Each structure stands twice: as structure tokens, then as C-alpha cells.
Chain A
Amino acid sequence: MKNRFLTFTVLAVAMVSMSHSAMAWGRRGHAISAYIAEKHLTEKAFTECRRYLQHTLPYYSVWQDQWRGCRGFEEICTAHVNYVNPDFTVRGKRDVTRDPVTRVVMITRELENGQYLNMPDSIVAMKLKLLIHMATDMHCPSHVGYPKEMKRDQQMPIRIGGRKVMRHGFWDAIPQTLHPSWNLDDFLEAYDVYSPKKIQKICKGDPTIWGIQNARKMLSTFDMWEVDEEFRRMDKERRQAIEDITAEQLVYGGYRLASILNHIFK
């Protein structure tokens, strides 16, 4: 009986982890970035986002991942991986407009300068849902696609408590792996620690620049573990490096999403 319970528990935990790995940053990571963004919105942007979405930003942070599997939403809900050239500029895979960086730029242009006022509310809401997701997606280490000549082992399996996880799945589930019991306020307190001046610096530029910066920075994440290494036995310094880059990318994604929304609703 005990064994059956143990098997069930292991399976249940595995299934939860798998469901997280299906989307960049997982539900948790996306909600964290969106929550940080919400805390940095101007009063006007905050009010307008709530008016159009009729929910908070975190509520819709994985809307795009959920709906991409539904008939009729395949096209608008694609664009998750920022495929780059060797100089880290946007390459796209089949079509550059399916790239999250390009899509974030396009949607921002469609909504800015008061253009959103001429659109039906449901269209503005849908575009906001896409922005909330893609602006944070592009900050996830596993969501940069490097060209063949730059690629190392994209799979880069790692083990968590003996369970083998691919690199993509590892980063997608990292907020859950690091702090399974933290809630949004806990993450906010730990990660949202930058000064206004530093935040301004982080948000300097536009999504195209941020995409290049992310692609350059994320290359280092290929060197963070050996193939098949056990995460829980990793030395303190390297675990801390993983925590640091997770925190940095989640918070950068949040600040930058806020700056986009503040720009749209200024």
C-alpha cells in the first residue's frame, strides 16, 4: 500500500512538473513577471489594463500558451522562441513575424499613440494578453534559439531528484523548482529590488535591443551544468548562479513589460 502511494505521489509530482514544462517559465514564472510588471505600471496604464482585461496581468500571463492549442488560435498564439542570427539579431524560423521580439514590436506599434482607442475592446484585450506573455517569454533562457553553428547541446539534460529533465523543461519549471511554496508576494519581495535609476537603465531601448541582450546573455546558461548532473547535488555557487539569472530574467521581463504598457497608455 505504501509503495502504491509512493508511486502515485511520484507520478503526480512528475505530471505537475510536466505541465509546467509545457510553457516558458511555467505558470509560476509568467505570473511572477506579470505581477512585477503590474507593480510598476503608471496609474493610467494600471486602470486601462484592468478595464480591458477585466482581470489582473498575472491572470492572463499564460493565456497564449493555453489557447495556442485551440482551433482558430494557432496562428495568433504562436511565437514563443526568439530565433537569432550569429550576431544575435532576430532571425525568425519560418517567418520573422512569428518571433516574439518582432511580435512585441508589432503589437506595441498597433496600440501606441492612442490607436487602441479606435479598436474594439476585445481586440485590445487580446493584444494585451499576447504582450503580457511574449514580453516575458523572450526573457526565458530556453526561449532563445541559436543558429546551428553556435549551438551546443540544446538538450543539455539535467536531473532533479534523479528525474531527467531537458534544458528547455528545466528553465521552464525553474521558479517552481527553486521555490515551490513561494507566492507572488514572496517572489516580489525577493526579486523586485532594483532602484528606479537601475530600472530605467534596464528598460532603455526597445524589444529588439532587449532580444539581442537576452540572446547574448543566455549563451552562458549552456555552461551552468554538466550533462546529466544532479541539480540538488550541485555546489552552492552554481545553484546561486542559476537562482540569480532566474531572478534577473523574471524581473527584467516584468520591468520591460511595464515599460511597454506604460508607453502604450501614456
Chain B
Amino acid sequence: MLMAGEACAFRGFGHQTIAAIADNHLTENTKREVYSILKADNMVKHANWVTSQRSRAKRVSEWQYATLDANGKSTTTYENDGVVVIEKAAEVLRNRKNESDSLVFASLCTLIEIVGDIHCPGNIHIEGNEATKNFAFTRWNGRKVEEKNRLKSKWREMWHDYTKTHDVFTPQYYAEDLEIILLKKKAEYEKGTPRFWAENVGEDVVWCLKVIYPEAEVTNETVYRYEDINNRCMAKAGYRLAALLNNIFKQ
């Protein structure tokens, strides 16, 4: 379970939190439709469904990544790219009356998890920028230079670790925490399409990489301050997932 959780972007708990944020912002009609498909009273329970399918279908492990071109634009048509997977799943849900129940269920679960995935900075690949695939850097406390105070860290793992710090929270409480400050940005965040969302996270990635880059020596303070970016990405994912589902099920 732990290993499965670690394998995905925000970890299992982070995805559950994103689903809890989205749950808070579904319209009544969307809730009725979504919960009926899931046979549940929230989306949290299904937030790690794709990860749970990995042993059965290895290709789904690619879905968590979104690739941007060298200009930071999402133009890919690669079938296993996270954005393309979201577009296809959304299409199935829009056309749900002509699709099988199992495909509709799988598509909904895919949306719940992959919208979260493309919001994790560690899951954004930018063509021509090898660093975005993962790299090692050194963390230290900024005052003692002894070797024991220098820890090897990795870009992707850094993004996993933020949610780990709060893993005694319930997903609903973590969602409540993140919304204290970010709720007022909801209207701004939920605009756009999955391609725009990936590009938007890509902008954060480019900004972060100016400070944290391969072989960089980074203070813990910098890493702690980046938690705000992580929080913002999680809240964006929650609001955007709700907006996408509300749009799909308004029909």
C-alpha cells in the first residue's frame, strides 16, 4: 500500500485530499451522477484507483506525466500523456449513455486521479529540459557545513514529501486546511482546459528550477517555502477537477 502510494505524484493521501477538495465543490446534480457511478458517497475512496490498476496494466503508470513542448505548451497527442488521457476520459463521460458501465466507471476514476497527477510539478516533463524528468540535489540546513548535514534529495521525491508531513490528517481536514487561504482563488484557478492547466503547472516548474536544479545545494528553508507551491497545485487540482466534472454532468 505504502509503495503504491509513493509511486504516484502527490502520494495516495495527496490524491485523496484533491478528491476531497473537489467533493466540496460539486453541484448537487454532479454529486448525484458521480456518486451513483462510483457507488459511493464521495470521490476520496476512488482517488487511487488508477494506481491500484498498475500491476494489471503497466502502461497506466505513464499516465501521470504531462509533457510540454520546449515553449511550455501542451501540444502532444501521445495516447499515454496525462492530458490526452484526461481528454479521452472526459469524452467517454460526456458520451456515457452509449458506453458500458465499466468504461464509464474507469473513466471517472481516471479523471479523479490524473487531474491530480498533472498538477504535481514532479510530473511535468518539458521537452529539451532533461531536469524535469528527475534529478538529484543536495539539501542542507544552511548553517552547518559538515557532511552529515548534507542530504541527497530528488526533485520528484521532494513533491511527494510535502503530503507525507500531514499524513495523520484526514483527507477532508487537509482539504479544509488548504482551502482556508486558497478558496478565494477558486474562480481564477478553475478556468481553462486540461492543456492550459498542465501549462500553468509548467510555469511553476520553470520558476522552481531556477533555484532547485541538478547538483544544486539547496537550504531546507527553500524546500519548506516551496510547500506553498505544492499546496497551490493541490488546491488548483481540486477546483479544476470539480469544474470539469460539473461541466461534464451539467448535460
**Interface residue ranges, A against B (CB under 8 Å):** 12, 27-28, 31-32, 50, 54-56, 58-59, 62, 66-67, 69-71, 74, 182-185, 187
Q: B116-144 interface mask toward A, CB cutoff 8 Å, 1 = contact, 0 = none?
A: 00000000000000000000000001110
- Best-buried of A31, A67, A187 by chain B (most CB within 10 Å): A31
Interchain CB contact (< 8 A) of B165 among A27, A50, A183, A185: A27
Report Cα–Cα, A56/B170, bound state, in Å: 13
Closest chain B CB from A156 CB (angstroms): 25
15 extra interface residue pairs, beta carbon distance < 8 Å, beyond A50-B180, A62-B165, A70-B142: A12-B2, A28-B168, A55-B181, A56-B173, A58-B166, A58-B168, A59-B166, A67-B224, A69-B143, A70-B143, A70-B220, A71-B141, A74-B143, A182-B168, A183-B170
B199-244, CB < 8 A from A: 219-221, 224
B169 in contact with A184 (CB, 8 Å): yes
Report Cα–Cα, A187/B220, bound state, in Å: 30
Instruction: Give the total of B residues in contact with A, Cβ under 8 Å.
Output: 18
Interchain CB contact (< 8 A) of B177 among A56, A62, A185: A56
Closest chain B CB from A12 CB (angstroms): 8
Given known A69-B220, A70-B220, A70-B224, contact A55–B169 (CB-CB < 8 A): no
Chain A: CB-nearest residue to B13? A183
B135-159, CB < 8 A from A: 141-143
Q: Does B176 contact A (CB under 8 A)?
A: yes
Report Cα–Cα, A69/B148, bound state, in Å: 13
Closest chain A CB from B150 CB (angstroms): 12
Closest chain A CB from B3 CB (angstroms): 9
Closest chain A CB from B142 CB (angstroms): 4
B219 in contact with A71 (CB, 8 Å): yes
